[in-house]
């Protein structure tokens, strides 16, 4: 399926049918999120993949009882870092050194540049900055799911502290930012299955200068 056809095909599914998605498709979608870009390449978030039914049942109240949490096949929670410090930047430099086969010392200037930029942010600004990066991964996941003909619902309709509690995110230095539920549409029971896609008109949305 061509990309634009896949994006027309997808919609934010309200009712899923409980069918499991094949492991290779789930892995493909996760890999696409892993390939998402982030500012500096720092990737200030983790991707929590919840397939376990019991855990999804525990999560459902935190998602205002949205049915996709249990009727889907997996819930991916994008959980951003609570703090972005020089320690995480140093770990990233190690990753670059290993993956590109360069000396870590050759990256000192780059590390200094990142640390200098991050120092200008308050703790709240740094948290919001990390959240924004996680949303890019959400976008990649949505597109990858559509290209694999896997249904998906992006979700920020949840109580973050409750999700963090169920998944033990605080202890990991993370907080839930946004989620993506994957599964298959229940075409007979989803009121949106045949709804026309509504988007702002090209002329209103796109401003040519």
State the nearest-atom distance from the C-beta of 37 to ligand FMN, in Å: 18
Yes or no: say if 151 and 15 are a contact pair by the CB < 8 Å rule.
no
Report which of 200, 189, 159 is spatially closest to residue 177, judged by C-alpha positions. Answer: 159
Among 153, 167, 177, 184, binds ligand FMN (CB under 6 A): 153
Query: Scanning residues 155 to 194, which ones bind ligand FMN (CB under 6 A)?
Result: 155-157, 178
Of the pair 11, 45, the CB lying nearest ligand FMN is at 11
Among 11, 81, 92, 129, binds ligand FMN (CB under 6 A): 11
Under the criterion CB under 6 A, does residue 197 sit at the interface with ligand FMN?
yes
Residue 99's H or E segment, with its range, is helix 86-100
Sign of CA dihedral 97, 102, 103, 109: negative
Of the pair 102, 159, the CB lying nearest ligand FMN is at 159
Under the criterion CB under 6 A, does residue 61 sit at the interface with ligand FMN?
no
Query: Residue 46 corresponds to which tokens in the numbers above?
Result: 């983790």
State the nearest-atom distance from the C-beta of 55 to ligand FMN, in Å: 18
Under the criterion CB under 6 A, does residue 14 sit at the interface with ligand FMN?
yes
Of the pair 7, 96, the CB lying nearest ligand FMN is at 7
Yes or no: say if 150 and 33 are a contact pair by the CB < 8 Å rule.
no
Angle 108-119/86-100 helices, nearest 10 degrees?
150
Under the criterion CB under 6 A, does residue 147 sit at the interface with ligand FMN?
no
Under the criterion CB under 6 A, does residue 12 sit at the interface with ligand FMN?
yes
CA dist list (Å): 38 to 52, 104, 108, 186: 29, 21, 20, 34
Binding site for ligand FMN (CB under 6 A): 11-12, 14, 66, 153-157, 178, 197
């Amino acid at each position: 399926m061509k990309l634009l056809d896949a994006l027309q095909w997808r919609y934010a599914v309200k009712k899923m049918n409980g069918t499991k998605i094949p492991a290779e498709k789930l892995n493909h979608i996760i890999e696409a999120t892993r390939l998402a870009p982030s500012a500096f390449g720092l990737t200030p978030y983790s991707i929590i993949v919840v397939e376990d039914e019991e855990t999804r049942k525990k999560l459902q109240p935190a998602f205002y009882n949205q049915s996709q949490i249990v009727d889907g096949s997996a819930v991916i929670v994008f959980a951003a870092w609570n703090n972005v410090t020089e320690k995480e930047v140093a770990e990233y430099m190690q990753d670059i050194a290993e993956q590109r086969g360069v000396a870590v010392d050759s990256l000192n200037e780059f590390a200094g540049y990142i640390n200098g930029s991050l120092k200008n942010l308050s703790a709240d600004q740094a948290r919001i900055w990390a959240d924004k990066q996680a949303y890019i991964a959400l976008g990649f996941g949505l597109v990858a799911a559509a290209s694999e003909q896997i249904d998906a619902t992006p979700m920020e309709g949840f109580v973050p502290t409750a999700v963090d509690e169920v998944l033990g995110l605080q202890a990991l230095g993370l907080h839930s930012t946004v989620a993506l539920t994957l599964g298959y549409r229940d075409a007979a029971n989803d009121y949106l299955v045949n709804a026309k896609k509504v988007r702002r008109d090209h002329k209103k949305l796109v401003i040519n200068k």
